[in-house]
């Protein structure tokens, strides 16, 4: 399995070389290493030039940079690695073992660990691992891996849906921003009530989104027939 490691960066000249060297020293078979710079002013791109296969430029923003790297990657499996995260020594073997299982996973992530000891760090690591195991939503620092074909397919589907009904998503985001900004000074009973209303709004918007999307799909199918 050919692997592409995508590293979004912005002013990471001090940390990046160690992260990239770690990938190279532990990669086993060669991997494609892509660094996507969001306009650094500290020489980050130059620091990556001798270690990465490709150094790309993108608009600043981790999501945009990761997406640019994913589109440029040639590997079957994409590994999104933060510039302050070191992969474990056996990361290649662990990935290959996970992706060799049937049925294949939708995505994988590593357990979280910190280079500092202490109760706080151990607790945060445990909570992160628990969240990933029970919800399927890991942190970005856990080096999320996904098949490139699935990534592209999911992105096209989401873009298609988002372009159909932008108003629902925008309304929900506006309500979220307004409510979360105004709730901090409220007494507990009023705060609970507001959260309850917010939950109802989110459920309703999700229902409308699915209902209208389904009607649009049915309309397109009839038109195509």
Domain span including residue 92 = 3-153
Q: What are phi and psi of 125, to 5 degrees?
A: -65, -45
Are 116 and 10 within one domain?
A: yes
- The tokens describing 87, both together, are 């992969």
Pick the closest to residue 19 from 132, 173, 27 (CA basis). Answer: 27
CA 93 to chain centroid, in Å, comes to: 22
Are 96 and 145 within one domain?
A: yes
Are 135 and 194 within one domain?
A: no
Q: Which of 153, 178, 204 is the endpoint of a domain?
A: 153
- Residue-wise pLDDT tens digits, 38-96: 999 999 999 999 899 999 999 999 989 999 999 999 999 999 999 999 999 999 999 99
Total-model pTM: 0.71
Are 19 and 113 within one domain?
A: yes
Q: Which residues contact 207 (CB under 8 A, 6 or more apart)?
A: none
Contact (CB, 8 A) for 138 and 109:
yes
- Residue-wise pLDDT tens digits, 118-176: 888 888 888 888 878 877 778 888 999 999 988 888 765 545 444 444 444 445 545 55
Are 86 and 8 within one domain?
A: yes
- The tokens describing 156, both together, are 């096209």
**Counted domains in the chain:** 2
Length of the chain: 225
Beta bridge partners of 144: 80
Give the span between the Cα atoms of 5 and 194, in whole angstroms: 43
């Amino acid at each position: 399995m050919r692997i592409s490691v995508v590293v979004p960066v912005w002013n990471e000249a001090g940390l990046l070389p160690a992260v990239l060297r770690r990938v190279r020293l532990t990669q086993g078979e060669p991997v494609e290493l892509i660094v996507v710079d969001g306009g650094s002013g500290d020489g980050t791109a130059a620091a990556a030039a001798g270690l990465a296969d490709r150094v790309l430029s993108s608009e600043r923003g981790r999501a945009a940079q990761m997406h640019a790297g994913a589109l440029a990657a040639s590997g079957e499996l994409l590994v999104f690695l933060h510039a302050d995260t070191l992969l474990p020594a056996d990361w290649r073997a662990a990935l290959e073992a996970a992706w060799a299982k049937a049925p294949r996973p939708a995505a994988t992530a590593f357990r979280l660990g910190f280079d500092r000891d202490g109760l706080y760090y151990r607790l945060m690591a445990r909570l992160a691992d628990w969240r990933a195991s029970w919800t399927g939503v890991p942190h970005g620092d856990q080096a999320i891996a996904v098949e490139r074909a699935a990534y592209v397919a999911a992105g096209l589907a989401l873009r298609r849906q988002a372009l159909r009904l932008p108003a629902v998503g925008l309304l929900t985001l506006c309500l979220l921003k307004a409510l979360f900004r105004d709730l901090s000074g409220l007494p507990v009973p009023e705060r609970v009530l507001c959260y309850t209303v917010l939950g109802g709004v989110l459920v309703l918007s999700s229902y409308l989104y699915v209902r209208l999307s389904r009607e649009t799909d049915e309309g397109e199918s009839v038109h195509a027939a």
